[in-house]
Structure 1
Amino acid sequence: MGSRSKARKRAVDFLYEADQRGVDPVTLLADRVGSPDVPPVGEYTITLVEGVTANRERIDELLTQHAEGWSLGRMPAVDRSVLRLGLYELLWSEDVPPAVAIDEAVELVKALSTDDSPRFVNGVLGRIAGIGNRLRKSVRQEQTAEQTAEQTAE
């Protein structure tokens, strides 16, 4: 398993635990980073957890729209965490090709979830990847508008 694959697995662990405990993933991560009881947390893991958390509202909105017949609450918690991570990489990580984001997410659920999960995750992320360029453009426009509004308010 490559270093980025390990970082993704670790990020899913944090996202899943935070989801189950009902706490903010970044807060959970901050509590763990530097703790002598926890193995060191790599930069890419931190980037993923922070990125998913910062964009979670939009990520969940997109997952709800494209997970045909499934609400977020109905999905297995591991699948939900992996989908959030996969969608973050698909739309916000410019250095991760869409096929890699999808394949890594599928590999994670193969190892962590049900027998039906790989097909489900592949289908949801594949549908979103099909309109990925349009969504990436939309996401970047939203971020630019938010940054402009913040700068204007200062």
Structure 2
Amino acid sequence: MAARSKARKRAIDILFEAEQRQVNAGDLLRERLAAPVTEAPLSEFTADLVVGVVDHWNAINDLLTTYSQGWTLERMPAVDRAILRLGAYEVLFTDVPEGVAISEAVALATELSTDDSPKFVNGLLARIAEVKPTLA
């Protein structure tokens, strides 16, 4: 797995853990940076991803809610929410090519979630990428 893919997975781990523990992901990130719980410290890219998602949390959640036809955020598996938040952040707020961001999110969904999740993640992030030019 490439370094940036590993960094994305670690960002998903933090976003998922924060939600499960009902703590702010930014606070959990600061805790992990101060006292790592793994042999390898978190990369700068992982930290940037988590901070970006946290900084745009409400906008991302609003878009996911708006474009996930028939699915509320609460109804989605928690790992899918984390993957979608990260994917939406990369699609909307970074220089990562949209296709790369979506492909990485789909790969994470394939590895970490249900059999139906990759298709759902792909469709929802593709829709967000499609409407991106209309969001101002």
TM-score band, normalised by shorter chain: over 0.9
Task: State the alpha-carbon separation in 2 of the partners of residues 79 and 56 from structure 1.
Answer: 15
Structure 1 vs Structure 2: percent identity of aligned residues?
Answer: 54
Gaps spanning 5+ residues in structure 2: where?
none
CA RMSD of aligned residues (A): 0.9
Partner of 1:77: 78
Q: TM-score, normalised by structure 1?
A: 0.85
Q: CA shift at 1:134, angstroms?
A: 2.6
SS in 1 for 2:74: helix
Partner of 1:148: none
Looking at CA atoms only, which structure, 1 or 2, has the larger radius of gyration? 1
Task: State the alpha-carbon separation in 1 of the partners of residues 37 and 63 from structure 2.
Answer: 36
Q: CA shift at 1:123, angstroms?
A: 0.6
Give the letter for the 1:99 counterpart: G
Partner of 1:5: 5
Q: Deviations over 1:42-86 (max 9, x none)?
A: 000000000000100000000000000000000000000000000
Q: TM-score, normalised by structure 2?
A: 0.96
Partner of 2:97: 97
Does residue 25 of the first structure (1) align with residue 25 of the second (2)? yes
Does residue 57 of the first structure (1) align with residue 58 of the second (2)? yes
Task: State the alpha-carbon separation in 2 of the partners of residues 87 and 52 from structure 1.
Answer: 9
Task: State the alpha-carbon separation in 1 of the partners of residues 34 and 65 from structure 2.
Answer: 35
State whether residues 91 and 101 of structure 2, in contact with CA within 8 Å, keep that contact through their aligned partners in structure 1: yes
Give the letter for the 2:17 counterpart: E
Q: CA shift at 1:35, angstroms?
A: 1.6
Partner of 1:112: 112
Greater CA drift, 75-84 or 28-37: 28-37
Query: How many residues end up aligned between the 2 structures?
Result: 135
Task: State the alpha-carbon separation in 2 of the partners of residues 102 and 72 from structure 1.
Answer: 19
